[in-house]
Amino acid sequence: MNEPHIAGTAPLVMEVQPGTYYWCACGLSKTQPFCDGSHRSTGFVPVEIVFSEPKKVAWCACKHSNKKPFCDGSHRHL
């Protein structure tokens, strides 16, 4: 698998609480935008992100953002 699977064509916007999150980079997770271990058969690894305070974020679902794990609008050009 050379390219990530496109899990969605719009960002996944949500409020996150302080803590550690693992963003799915392969696009195969059933718990998007978070990793569920589906990458194990690919060359992809999840992206770890730590939040120290509550925050509203737009997670990338297309997996092609240049600002991974956050959306940068790349889904508009797929």
Quick: pLDDT tens for 3-37.
999 999 999 999 999 999 999 999 999 999 999 99
CA 14-33-3 angle, 5° bins: 140
pLDDT, position 1: 82
**Cα distance between residue 17 and residue 44, in whole Å:** 26
Quick: pLDDT tens for 37-65.
999 989 999 999 999 999 999 999 999 99
Predicted TM-score (pTM) of the model is 0.93
Domain boundary assignment for the chain = 12-77
From residue 52, give the alpha-carbon distance in Å to each of 14, 16, 18, 26, 32: 16, 10, 5, 26, 21
**Cα distance between residue 47 and residue 22, in whole Å:** 5
